[in-house]
Amino acid sequence: MNAPRVLCLHGASGNAATWGPVLDAWDPALAARAVDLPGRGATPKPPLADVAALADAVLADLPPGPAPLLVGHSLGGAVALMAALRHPSRVTRIALVSSASRLRVAPTILQAAAQATPTTPLRLDFAFGPHTPPSVIARYHADAATTPPAASVADWQACDGFDVRARLGEVRARVLVAYGAADVLTPAKHQGPLTDALPRAQRAEHPTAGHMLPWEAPAWLGQILVDFLQS
């Protein structure tokens, strides 16, 4: 398998399939591919509740070739950021999409994830912006429904334990910080300080999107990724 130019990492409770509608809206020149984090997929490995372990697992599965741009949504952004810290020679560009350097999770979400079942999975309707069409939310949840509950729980636990605020100055990769103005989980007010704390970062704000920016504004995100790669 050829190395991708862009590698997409999903958020908590997601999987590679959830990126499908997003990748369909992107310029094919991005040559993007989405991957499953451990705990899901056709041949799932045991889920991991630690962002450092997730970052190592992602890089271990990469085929030889030029380092791709790691595009991480929420938890995926934490994984990309940790990969840049742990493997600076292999990770030279990352995009943090609706993410942060700390991902504290509300106890109610942790409890809801723990109580979810294959027939009643955790729903993230609240994470979408107020202008998102119901069909987009329904498509996302249809794709996310295949994520095993145990993997979903591990994802949220990994988020809750993630905090690299004190290490942002060590990041040598170029970073794009992309977010929605209506995000209730990783609020826009924190994205400026995050960008300023990173040595080589730029940011882009979508005026109406919420936390699920890739599904709410896929074409917009695809274009800023093209611009980031060409800059």
In order along the chain (231 residues), what is the average pLDDT of each group of 10 residues?
82 97 94 96 91 97 88 98 96 98 96 93 95 96 95 98 98 98 97 98 98 98 96 90
Query: What is the predicted pLDDT for the residue at 3?
Result: 63
Alpha helices in 32-74 (DSSP H): 51-60
Query: What is the predicted pLDDT for the residue at 42?
Result: 85
Query: What is the predicted pLDDT for the residue at 4?
Result: 74
Q: Which amino acid, one-letter code, is at 129? A: G
Query: What is the predicted pLDDT for the residue at 217?
Result: 98
Whole-model pTM: value is: 0.96
Residue 161 has phi, psi (to 5 degrees) of -90, 0
Exposed, middle or buried, 59 (CB in 10 Å: 0-12/13-18/19+)? middle
Query: What is the predicted pLDDT for the residue at 2?
Result: 59
| Domains, the chain | 6-230 (3.40.50.1820)
The dihedral region occupied by 206, where left means phi > 0, alpha psi between -120 and 50, and beta the remainder, is beta
Query: What is the predicted pLDDT for the residue at 73?
Result: 98
Query: What is the predicted pLDDT for the residue at 43?
Result: 81
Cα–Cα distance, 170 to 40 (Å, whole number): 31
Query: What is the predicted pLDDT for the residue at 194?
Result: 98
Query: What is the predicted pLDDT for the residue at 64?
Result: 81
